[in-house]
Structure 1
Amino acid sequence: MVVIRLARGGAKNRPFFNMVVTDSRNRRDGRFIERIGFYNPAAAATEQGLVINPERLAYWQQHGAQLSPTAARLVKQSGVQRTA
């Protein structure tokens, strides 16, 4: 199954997450199909903390990709329109 989830990056105590489309059997930080955005929980006030490409999100959802619970929460928080 294809899923949309977060892959962790960044340094120790400085997390940075890429929102990626991947096969559910791949490891969390392993191989992925496409990067569709990022989430930086430690972003300063002048930096963007959450960026999601709505066109690619809609494309992958139309092709059967499922959102992980955390990715779904971030999509809702960003205000990007979700398709079923």
Structure 2
Amino acid sequence: MSLKIRLSRGGAKKRPYYRIVVADSRAPRDGRFIDRIGSFNPLLAKDADNRVVLDVEKAKAWLEKGAQPTDRVARFFDEAGLLKREARNNPKKGEPGDKAKERAAEKAEKAAAANASAEEPAAEEAASAE
């Protein structure tokens, strides 16, 4: 049985509140869990003390037993000093898709054509003024 330390959603619509739980990886997100080790309230300010409440002793025990935290929970553990989370790097994330690249190229062509047509009368006026 592979164990995950993950978030279980609670709260009303558009008012999320998460519990940090240890669960079987096959169990539903908000369903059966083995142990509750903390909570996370994303509506509070990032510097609020009770935004993330974590039972450090239970978390250490479950990590020693082989439970794997999800990425978000690993961030919380890194802040608490329980786990070292490696920074991720996805250089393609900020790159626009194919359609956006095509639209940008068309826009650049139109702008170049508009600049060229705007410069022709200006060049003619400058030549006639001399």
TMscore range, shorter length? 0.7 to 0.9
CA deviation vs aligned residue, 1:58-78 (integer Å, no higher than 9, x gap): 00010110011111012223x
TM-score calculated relative to the size of structure 2: 0.58
Return 5+ residue gaps in structure 2 as ranges: 85-130
| Higher RCO (Cα < 8 Å, 6 or more apart) | 1
Q: Distance in 1 between matches of 2:44 and 2:55?
A: 19
Q: Distance in 1 between matches of 2:3 and 2:25?
A: 6
CA deviation vs aligned residue, 1:7-37 (integer Å, no higher than 9, x gap): 0000111100000000000000000000000
2:37 alignment partner in structure 1: 36
Q: Distance in 2 between matches of 1:61 and 1:81?
A: 9
State whether structure 2 residue 12 is matched by structure 1 residue 11: yes
1:20 alignment partner in structure 2: 21
1:58 alignment partner in structure 2: 60
Q: Distance in 1 between matches of 2:4 and 2:11?
A: 22
Return 5+ residue gaps in structure 1 as ranges: none
Pair member with larger Rg: 2
Percent identity of equivalent pairs = 43
More strand by share: 1
- Output the aligned Cα RMSD: 1.8
- SS of 1:41's equivalent in the other structure is coil
Q: Distance in 2 between matches of 1:27 and 1:46?
A: 30
TM-score calculated relative to the size of structure 1: 0.88
More helix by share: 2
- The Cα shift of 1:46 comes to 6.8
- Relative to 1, partners in 2 of residues 1:58 and 1:14: Cα closer, same or farther, differing over 3 Å? same
Aligned residues: 82
State whether structure 2 residue 70 is matched by structure 1 residue 75: no
